[in-house]
Amino acid sequence: MNLLEEIKNLSREYFDDVVFFRRHFHATPELSTQEHRTAAYIAARLDEMGISYEEGIAGTGIIGHIPGKNPASKVIALRADMDALPILEQNKVEYKSANPGVMHACGHDVHMASLLGSAKILHQLRDHWSGTVKLIFQPSEEKNPGGARMMLQEGALDHPRPAAIFGQHVFPGLPAGKVGIRSGSYMASADEIYITVKGTGGHAAKPELNVDPIVIASHVILALQQIVSRNAAPYIPTVLSFGRIIGDGQTNVIPDEVKIEGTFRTFDEEWRQRAHRRIRETAVFVAQGMGGGCEVFISDGYPYLHNNEELAAKFRRHASQYLGAENVEELELSMTAEDFAFYSRKFDTCFYRLGVRNLENGKTSNLHTSTFDVDERALETGTGLMAWLAICELTGDL
Using CB under 5 A, list all residues that contact Ni ion: 106
Among all residues, whose Cβ is closest to Ni ion? Answer: 106
Q: Which of 30, 35, 83, 142 is catalytic?
A: 83
Closest contact distance (angstroms) between CB of 169 and Ni ion is 6
CB-based contact 159:313 (threshold 8 Å):
no
Burial level of 32, CB count in 10 A (0-12/13-18/19+)? buried
CB neighbour list of residue 91: distance below 8 Å, 6 or more residues apart: 370, 371, 372, 373
Min separation Cβ 206 and Ni ion, Å? 51
Number of H helices, E strands in the chain: 10, 16
Q: Which helix (H) or strand (E) element contains residue 208?
A: none
Please say whether the beta carbons of 87 and 106 come within 8 A: no
CA distances from 172 to 106, 365, 384 (A): 10, 7, 19
Kind plus residue range of the DSSP H or E element containing 94: none
CB nearer Ni ion, residue 284 or residue 337:
337
Q: Which residues contact 228 (CB under 8 A, 6 or more apart)?
A: 238, 239, 240
Three-point CA angle 395, 396, 398, nearest 5°: 90
- Three-state SS for 104-127 is CCCCHHHHHHHHHHHHHHHHHCHH
For the bound state, the minimum distance from the C-beta of residue 141 to Ni ion, rounded and expressed in Å, comes to 6
> What is the distance between the alpha carbons of residues 60 and 235, in angstroms, rounded to a whole number?
40
Tell me whether residue 141 is one of the annotated catalytic residues.
Answer: yes
Residue among 216, 166, 187 at smallest CA distance from 367: 187
380 is a catalytic site residue = no
User: Shortest gap between Cβ of 106 and Ni ion (angstroms)?
Assistant: 3
Q: Active-site residue among 30, 81, 109, 141?
A: 141
User: Helix, strand or coil for residue 351?
Assistant: strand
Mind telling me the catalytic residues? 83, 141
